[in-house]
Chain A
């Protein structure tokens, strides 16, 4: 019998794990810098190389606009400077979250507009990620365990259908059924328009929750199909491994084999997949926020496209992609904490 490790040994193992995770993360963080730089360059280029100057909408439709006034307006927004100067100015502003002012009549700072809308979008996306994991993982595991059974095939077909269905159409049908036909769920806004202020706090919470059911459900749908598919594939891969056969041969109950031995390893790649699916999820906000009239970042994007409000567009684009970048970083951290190969500093890459 080996002696149990002393406290000192345990602590040194822990310290070593911490050190390897940190060195892994440092490398990942270093890789973020050029990516962030690239995001800013592309966001900037999209706006400035597009045909038609950002100003032209304001200028072209103003009958009193003289060439001198146009020049003055261009100078006011710095558009008469060379591109690299404009880029540098914009980048300096970005560093302190000064994204300029909206072209809309209210002239409010862009960051203020984004900041007040970000929490709603993040809340809905977080809830739908939770829902995706809660449903997709058990579904994928069940399909993999009963590989090629009737259940597996039914799940596969369902997933294929949902994967092909446009999210906004499913949303329309759900609105039609639950909102219009049955009248069970509200189909617009974040809270009731009438009587919300006079409700006791628990009714307010319930009212808010009811309003979130359809948007969260709809935004989860697309990811649900993909995620359960990946879980199934990942589980199948792991269940084929020799150590699973060993575990079974030892006489472990199937439950222990599946949940303790297989699932833990099968979940690892899913962390990365989840990180990669973030842009799609956030992108979906544009659609369901405009459908359900939710005042989030997607709706802001849509209305700024309609109004050609280019400072807001550019700010939105850069903020959303930086958020995605941070989401990917979180996924990396999760991966590093979950993967013993990285924890012990033995990763292959």
Chain B
């Protein structure tokens, strides 16, 4: 993206009309809560090494399955590892998977949606048919089928979640392109001899930035949920790396004797997803008052 394009992208996302959407965003308490949760989590994930009271992998056979106490705020697991430390490092993995997977899905969805909406014709028919087909697969079945043949590494998980989650963005971007390409400013750009690439990247795409940003933010929550479900099923992030999902697997195995193993990782997922959803809804309400959910 050129510098001009980048500037207009920022403007479209609200830079130009800062007082308006910025004010609307901060007036919405739920949106601010969402931003607070997301921001706190980002800091926790970045500073994990300095925040943890214990080494998350350190096995301590003298303190196995201890309930929450002053020494171990969230208790210890079957190997005597500190649950709080594992939870903090788990934040890093969950956020990384969520953000990278959504980044990939957004890139694919934007590319295909833009191509379909801009060129139309058989390309549009083909891409939209592909979207219909992909939407017929229960995502988790598709992901599992692919994962069965891959090493269950964190990078593969991100790639697979991203590759199976782009359809919503593609539909959205296509719809935006269909309306935007008929607008006067696109006509004007075309008449003044702008190339297709220039029209797409510096005229249409920046104007579609707001809904893409909203969809991506809402998508992060979904991706984190998917990752945790896969890790819970034992086909996502593999132990000993701590992920909130595989920590819950341990919780399930010790359900009757160690409630803390089941409760806290789930709460962490809940708050993270809630944070991204609130932030996404808040951004939507602030950026596009037309589709306010009321």
Measured CB to CB, the residues of A under 8 A from B are: 34-35, 38-39, 42-43, 46-47, 50-52, 54, 147, 160-161, 163-170, 172-173, 175-176, 180, 233, 236, 276, 279-280, 282-284, 286-287, 290-291, 301-302, 304-306, 308, 310, 313-314, 316-317, 320-322, 324-325, 328
Known pairs A54-B149, A161-B274, A180-B256. 10 more at Cβ < 8 A?
A38-B129, A46-B142, A166-B273, A172-B248, A233-B293, A287-B229, A304-B148, A305-B148, A324-B136, A328-B136
**Provided the pairs A166-B225, A166-B229, A169-B248 are in contact, do residues A51 and B262 lie with their beta carbons within 8 angstroms?**
no
B252, A314: Cβ atoms closer than 8 Å = no
A313, B129: Cβ atoms closer than 8 Å = no
A279, B145: Cβ atoms closer than 8 Å = no
B278, A283: Cβ atoms closer than 8 Å = no
B137 at the interface (CB under 8 A from A): yes
B255 at the interface (CB under 8 A from A): yes
B277 at the interface (CB under 8 A from A): yes
Q: How far is the CA of A165 from the CA of B133 in the complex (A)?
A: 28
Which residues of the other chain, A, contact B146 by a CB distance below 8 angstroms? 46, 50
**Provided the pairs A286-B140, A317-B142 are in contact, do residues A39 and B148 lie with their beta carbons within 8 angstroms?**
no
The interface residues of chain A, by DSSP majority, are classed as helix
Which residues of the other chain, B, contact A163 by a CB distance below 8 angstroms? 273, 277
Choose from A176, A287, A305 the contact partner of B145 (Cβ within 8 Å): A305
Distance of B127 from chain A, by nearest CB (Å): 12
A320, B138: Cβ atoms closer than 8 Å = yes
B229, A310: Cβ atoms closer than 8 Å = no
Which residues of the other chain, B, contact A54 by a CB distance below 8 angstroms? 149
Q: Interface extent on B, as a size class?
A: 35 or more
B62 at the interface (CB under 8 A from A): no
B130 at the interface (CB under 8 A from A): yes
Q: How far is the CA of A290 from the CA of B252 in the complex (A)?
A: 11
**Provided the pairs A287-B232, A290-B233 are in contact, do residues A301 and B144 lie with their beta carbons within 8 angstroms?**
yes
Q: How far is the CA of A218 from the CA of B190 in the complex (A)?
A: 54
A164, B129: Cβ atoms closer than 8 Å = no
The interface residues of chain B, by DSSP majority, are classed as helix
B229, A165: Cβ atoms closer than 8 Å = no
B112 at the interface (CB under 8 A from A): no
Which residues of the other chain, A, contact B255 by a CB distance below 8 angstroms? 172, 175-176, 180
B144, A147: Cβ atoms closer than 8 Å = no
Which residues of the other chain, A, contact B277 by a CB distance below 8 angstroms? 160, 163-164
**Provided the pairs A168-B232, A172-B252 are in contact, do residues A282 and B138 lie with their beta carbons within 8 angstroms?**
yes
B139, A279: Cβ atoms closer than 8 Å = yes
A308, B136: Cβ atoms closer than 8 Å = no
Choose from B145, B221, B271, B278 the contact partner of A314 (Cβ within 8 Å): B145
12 pairs from A and B in contact (CB 8 Å cutoff): A38-B130, A161-B270, A166-B228, A168-B229, A169-B266, A280-B138, A280-B139, A283-B139, A286-B140, A317-B145, A321-B141, A328-B136
B90 at the interface (CB under 8 A from A): no
Distance of A191 from chain B, by nearest CB (Å): 21
Q: How far is the CA of A305 from the CA of B150 in the complex (A)?
A: 11
B148, A291: Cβ atoms closer than 8 Å = no
A324, B138: Cβ atoms closer than 8 Å = yes
**Provided the pairs A52-B149, A180-B255, A314-B145 are in contact, do residues A35 and B270 lie with their beta carbons within 8 angstroms?**
no
**From B272, which residue of chain A is reached at the shortest CB distance?**
A164
Distance of A26 from chain B, by nearest CB (Å): 18
A286, B270: Cβ atoms closer than 8 Å = no
B269, A169: Cβ atoms closer than 8 Å = yes
Which residues of the other chain, A, contact B278 by a CB distance below 8 angstroms? 160
B294, A236: Cβ atoms closer than 8 Å = yes
Interface residues of B in 62-105 (CB under 8 A from A): none
Which residues of the other chain, B, contact A50 by a CB distance below 8 angstroms? 146, 148-150
Q: How far is the CA of A176 from the CA of B148 in the complex (A)?
A: 31
B60 at the interface (CB under 8 A from A): no
